[in-house]
Amino acid sequence: MGRYVPVFVAVLLWIDTSTRESWAQCLCPSSQDTDFPSSCEETDDSNHACINYTIINQNNERMEILWAARENFPEVNTTMFYEYNEQGQKQCPQYITDQGYNTGCVFQAERNANLLISIWDANGTKELYYDEQDTSTFFKPNPPENVTFQWTNDKLTVQCKSPDAPHCFHFQLQYKSRFDENWHSRKESCCKLQDQGFDPVKCYTFRFRLIYHCGVYSSEWSNQTSWENGSSVGSCDIKSKSSMDIVLTLVMVALMIIFVLLLWVCWLERFRQTLMPIIPDPKNIYSELFSGYHGDFQEWINETENVLIPTKLECTEGEAEACVVEDEMEGCHQEVKMEARVGIKEHPFA
């Protein structure tokens, strides 16, 4: 009896495909997630030969039909007409083109409707292909909306807005920390998911989607969101910084470098003064003697003795007398040695 089982299964598959294909003998959408065969054989009627094409009902908002015109109809441009529930045919309002050839169509979707697709040549004189399908079969939901996160220690509860017919959906969540290379996946019935074992200190990146098991398409993955310590953060990437953070960091580094350079210059100046102290130029001291008194030393002394600092002069006799001037101001014992020749005349510089 076991040899009759494959025959029974084949009959069921034939009935299922016949139900799906009421106008064309076979349907070959390019999606690999469908139950249809990956290749088709042409029928005896070349006018109704099967072709590979894709139907997408984007969240009951718009329909997308793609038929790969360059492969199926080389050197021939095409036009498309569609019809919902025998309400009259309408021409495609917006074509998708590829190198000047119409290769797809976008138009308004209708919920749970029978869709008739008819592809003609550019002149509208020859029908190249037609097919009829149920729009709900090719429904593709949008990513989950209004997703909320609730943290309780190491436990996470994620919830999203419930779509129509929630029994046809699963809510899938993927996450990874900055130390993980691969995604960890969780899946629950729509539209609430709970999981535990999270480290509150770590930063986790999440993404989620809706799996539609009443049709052939799942939603696209949502935008990634990152959480750390129960709060939403921009990214878990340590290296990623905003442009403002980079500018502030560069400014702080520049200020630190300038401050260090100023300290180094001040220290270098003090070190130079310690090794090589400044020696006063004597010409500045006696400039008035030569400019104002024409070298008359005696007259200069008489005029300036009242303004000079009191000094104690000790001289020793000899051919060359050495005079030691002791500065007695504020108890300072600095000694300045001066040499003068004996026998200064009244006008030695005259």
What DSSP state is assigned to residue 277? P
Instruction: Quote the pLDDT of residue 140.
Output: 94
74 neighbors 152 (Cβ within 8 angstroms)? no
According to the model, what pLDDT value does residue 281 have? 66
Question: Options 3.40.50.300, 3.30.365.10, 3.30.70.330, 2.60.40.10; which CATH number does 148-233 get?
Answer: 2.60.40.10
pLDDT reported for residue 286: 66
Contact (Cβ atoms closer than 8 angstroms) between residue 64 and residue 45: no
Q: Decide: 163 and 190 in contact? Cβ < 8 Å.
A: yes
Which CATH superfamily hosts domain 2-140?
Answer: Immunoglobulins (2.60.40.10)
Place of tokens 């990437």: 237
> Under a CB-based contact definition with an 8 Å cutoff, are residues 220 and 209 in contact?
yes
Q: What is the mean pLDDT of each run of 10 residues along the chain (350 residues)?
A: 38 36 34 38 48 88 89 84 91 92 93 90 82 90 93 90 90 92 91 88 93 91 92 77 77 93 88 76 65 70 61 46 43 39 42
In degrees and rounded to multiples of 5, residue 103 shows phi and psi of: -125, 0
Report the alpha-carbon distance of residue 224 to residue 66 in Å, rounded.
29
Q: 111 — phi, psi (to 5°)?
A: -75, 130
- Please list the residue range(s) of the chain that carry CATH number 2.60.40.10: 2-140, 148-233
Strands 127-134 and 139-140: unpaired
Q: Is 300 exposed, middle or buried (0-12, 13-18, 19+ CB in 10 A)?
A: middle
Residue 32 phi/psi, 5-degree rounding, is -85, -5
Quote the distance between the C-alpha of residue 116 and its chain's center: 45
Per-residue pLDDT, 91 = 93
pTM across the whole model: 0.55
How far is it, in rounded angstroms, from Cα 207 to Cα 193?
13
* pLDDT value for 283: 62
